[in-house]
Structure 1
Amino acid sequence: MGAGAVATMGTGVAAAAPAHGAGALHTPADPTYDQPLGIAMEGYATAYPVRFLRMVNQGETVDMAYLDIAPSGQSPTGRTVLLLHGKNFDGGAWTTTARALAAAGNRVVVPDQIGFGRSSKPALDYSFELLAHNTVALLDHLGIADVDVVGHSMGGMLGVRFALLHPTRIRRLVLANPVGLEDYRELVPAHTTERLFADELANTGLPGIRAFYQSYVVTWRRAYERNVELRYRVTLSGEYPRWALASARTYQMAYHQPVVQDLPALRLPVLLVIGQEDRAAVGKSYATPENRAKLGNFPVLGRLAAAAIPASRLVELHGVGHLPQLEAKKRFEREVLSFLGTDRP
């Protein structure tokens, strides 16, 4: 089918303030944290067992964390769904979606990309080609020939590159508020990795981190607090500088490798699920006030993307921000399951 105020978090994706203003307000009931968390989230509880795949990237030995969730429904589909997280998230942020997909009979694989979550945080020259290569290595390790892919935010950028680089390994693609639908270099100035690293090191305040995640949604709910806890407790770790450097380097990847120009080359069915209140954009806080107002206009970006992708379907979710899989959980799961269920073997 064709067709405000800015919160910042170091080198993360910036988003507009919540539409209803509730997000950025601190209340006495907001949780506080004083226990450090290792940069590989050591000891943090997970809904499913975490496994690791050892590989070599650019001469460095790294460990890629992943979840491999068996179908829990009574009628297995024989299909595998691969979930790709965003830059300011990890695979665990997909827990509710993974549970719904497994309950519908799908095997679900959820990696933490190298540089994120429980995986290694090496000082690499990050690229979407590298992450796609690592993801294929994981599928080969698990004996999986092809997958349906669901990517959120930066994970949507990776999903697009994965589809173009490895077209025989992917059947259908779902993009949930993907960034990279515009070329940020046109409106956001470039910065050195050293500058981005310093900004990330300085971003250690709990109120600012909470406001950043609150800016992603229209109405903040305590169920979203997990992201705040993880991000803040990592800043208390003695290895936080290594985490911050990996974050700065992956920012460069997202900034310099947009996917908007790649959309017309996609040759598979694509579902775009776009929260209409979303205004997220890579590096938005570095733009001038005039240019900030032009960035992250997802109602427009979603329609342009749908028109550019030859076989696309666009679902617009009103009253929803950057996290449709959480803010409109039931609708999101219904749309994804319906789309992926077409032409099941």
Structure 2
Amino acid sequence: MHRFALAPAFLSVALGATSPGRADPLPAYGPELEGFAYPFPVERFTFTSQRQPLQMAYLDVKPEQPNGRTVVLLHGKNFCAATWDSQIRALTGAGYRVVAPDQIGFCKSSKPSAYQFTFRQLAENTHALLGKLGIERPVIVGHSTGGMLAAHYALLYPKEVAQLVMVNPVGLEDWSAKGLPPISIDRWYERELKTTAESIRTYETATYYAGRWEPRYEPWVGMLAGLNSGPGKEAVAWDSALLYDMIVTEPVVYRFPQIAVPTLLFIGQKDNTAIGKDLAPPEVRATLGHYPELGKAAAKAIPGAKLIEFPDSGHAPQMSEPEAFNKALIEGLETPPSSRTK
């Protein structure tokens, strides 16, 4: 399977970000990523939640030769629907309809100033979107924080999920129980306001890409940095702080034995993600984010789960190894694991 390139118009806008060796100023995008182009047409789902009108941006990409199945792609904390570009092209090429939403608080969706962010709420929002689109029993694929959301979705709606796929999900361990000190929302907010292109690039190199940076990752740095430096940066940082608090305080690991749908678990073996671990004492920090062990433990805990490991990948194998990842994903969807129970 060949590597799918980013759409030219999308790439030209995204590459406005400062990259190594460039002197261009960093673009500033609006609070709903206004000014940043996605590789497919963006649609919007308007609804009311927690007594306020909201809009959820999403991609709904249909194949030329449909196979009758739909895949829903749930992005991670520092990702957006657009970052699934390669997977959308591969899946639609294989006959799947693909829906990729931007969750509330992220990317091109609403940034409410007062919202109780929970994984249950985000799952309910996603369920409402799929109901509006008339989609029944999709495959739910989630990466990173989206993996936590996908697990909650499968727990809430087990009869409405054909298959669950989690890609390097966070929440495989309870960081607080392991010694991560309490982090207030105000402190998260202060940290988020300091986000820069350099800090994003440094973190992603070490965590997402196993120490190997490539120019093709630069659009996603520009996307995040532009969102965090634009005219709505305070609203973006505040929702980001609320979301980090949700991630840390709602580990899903304890509920893995309750998952009752066929499950695939994709784990980049060089991942070391543990949100907030830089604030932990050194002896605690050393115990967090060991994904080779965490992946095996999760696969053992989820009834009938199948584990697929990517030895050379970090937190984002779908981006660092798109060809291998897309091939494994499509093969996994064609031959889903059993849904046996323990």
1:175 is aligned, of 142, 148, 166, to: 166
* Equivalent residues of 1:33, 1:229 under 8 A apart: no
> 1:22-101 maps to which residues of 2 (within 5 A)?
28-29=20-21, 32-72=24-64, 74=65, 76-101=66-91
**Which residue of structure 2 aligns with residue 147 of structure 1?**
138
Hey, what does 2:240 align to over in structure 1?
A: 247
**Is structure 2 residue 300 aligned with structure 1 residue 300?**
no
Task: Name the CA distance, whole Å, in 2 between partners of 1:27 and 1:224.
Answer: 10
Question: Which residue does 1:256 correspond to in 2?
Answer: 249
Contiguous gaps of at least 5 residues in structure 2: 1-17, 337-342
Residue in 1 that maps onto 2:148:
157
For the pair 1:205 / 2:196, whether they are aligned, the reply is yes
1:303 Cα deviation from its structure 2 partner: 0.4
After the TM superposition, which segments of 4 or more aligned residues of structure 1 sit over 4 Å from their partners?
none
What secondary structure, in the 3-state scheme, does the structure 2 residue paired with 1:173 have? strand
CA drift of 1:158 comes to 0.2
From 307, 320, 324, the equivalent of 1:327 is 320
CA distance in 2, matches of 1:258, 1:205: 28
Q: Distance in 1 between matches of 2:129 and 2:153?
A: 13
Pairing of 1:176-195 with structure 2 (within 5 A)? 176-186=167-177, 187-195=179-187
Change in CA separation of 1:182 and 1:30 when aligned onto 2, cut-off 3 Å = farther
Instruction: Tell me, yes or no, if structure 1 residue 315 matches structure 2 residue 308.
Output: yes
Count of aligned pairs = 316
Q: Kindly state the Cα deviation for residue 287 of structure 1 after the two structures are TM-superposed.
A: 1.1
In structure 1, C-alpha distance between the alignment counterparts of 2:196 and 2:78, rounded to whole Å: 16
* Distance across 2 between alignment mates of 1:175 and 1:149: 8
Determine the C-alpha separation between the residues in 2 that align with 1:248 and 1:27: 26
On the 8 A contact 1:69/1:107 being kept in 2, the answer is yes
What residue identity is the alignment partner of 1:141?
Answer: K
Does 1:341 find its partner at 2:339? no
CA distance in 2 between partners of 1:165 and 1:32 (Å): 46
CA contact (8 A) 1:35 1:233 kept: yes
State the shift of 1:236 in Å: 2.5
Identity %: 42
- TM-aligned CA deviation for residue 180 of structure 1: 0.2
The amino acid that maps onto 2:103 is Q
Which stretch of structure 1 is more off in the superposition, 234-243 or 29-38?
29-38
Assess, with a 3 A threshold, how the Cα gap between structure 1 residues 308 and 205 changes in structure 2: closer, same or farther. same
Question: Alpha carbons of 1:244 and 1:267: their partners in 2 closer, same or farther (altered >3 Å)?
Answer: same
Residue 278 of structure 2, aligned match among 281, 285, 289: 285
Could you tell me which runs of 5 or more consecutive residues in structure 1 were left unpaired when the two chains were aligned: 1-25
Q: Within 2, Cα distance between the matches of 1:196 and 1:35?
A: 24
2:55 maps to a residue whose letter is D
One-letter code of the match for 2:140?
Answer: V
1:4-60 deviation per Cα after TM superposition (whole angstroms, max 9, x unaligned): xxxxxxxxxxxxxxxxxxxxxx98525753331112111311111000011112111
Determine the structure 2 residue equivalent to 1:7. Answer: none
TM-score, length-scaled by structure 1: 0.88
* TM-aligned CA deviation for residue 285 of structure 1: 1.8
Instruction: Name the SS for the 2:162 alignment partner.
Output: strand
Letter in 2 for 1:311: G
Please give the secondary structure, in 2, of the residue aligned with 1:151.
Answer: strand
Query: Which amino acid is the alignment partner of residue 198 of structure 1?
Result: E
Contact 2:19–2:218 (CA under 8 A) maintained in structure 1: no
Give the distance between the partners of 1:51 and 1:150, measured in 2 at CA. Answer: 20
- The range that moved more, 39-48 or 260-269, is 39-48
TM-score, normalised with respect to structure 2:
0.89
Q: Which amino acid in structure 1 is aligned with residue 170 of structure 2?
A: V
Structure 2 letter corresponding to 1:300: E
Deviation at 1:118, TM superposition (A): 0.2
Residue 278 of structure 1 and its aligned partner are, at CA, apart by 0.4
Give runs of aligned pairs for residues 212-251 of structure 1, distance below 5 A: 212-215=203-206, 216-218=208-210, 219-251=212-244
Give the aligned residue type for 1:339: G
Distance verdict in 2 for CA 1:33–1:27, change over 3 Å: closer
The answer to whether the aligner puts 1:102 opposite 2:95 as a matched pair is no
Task: Tell me how far apart the structure 2 counterparts of residues 27 and 130 of structure 1 sit (CA, whole Å).
Answer: 37
Give the AA of the match of 1:268. V
Tell me which residue corresponds to 1:22: none
Asked if structure 2 preserves the Cα contact closer than 8 Å seen for 1:112 and 1:119, the reply is yes
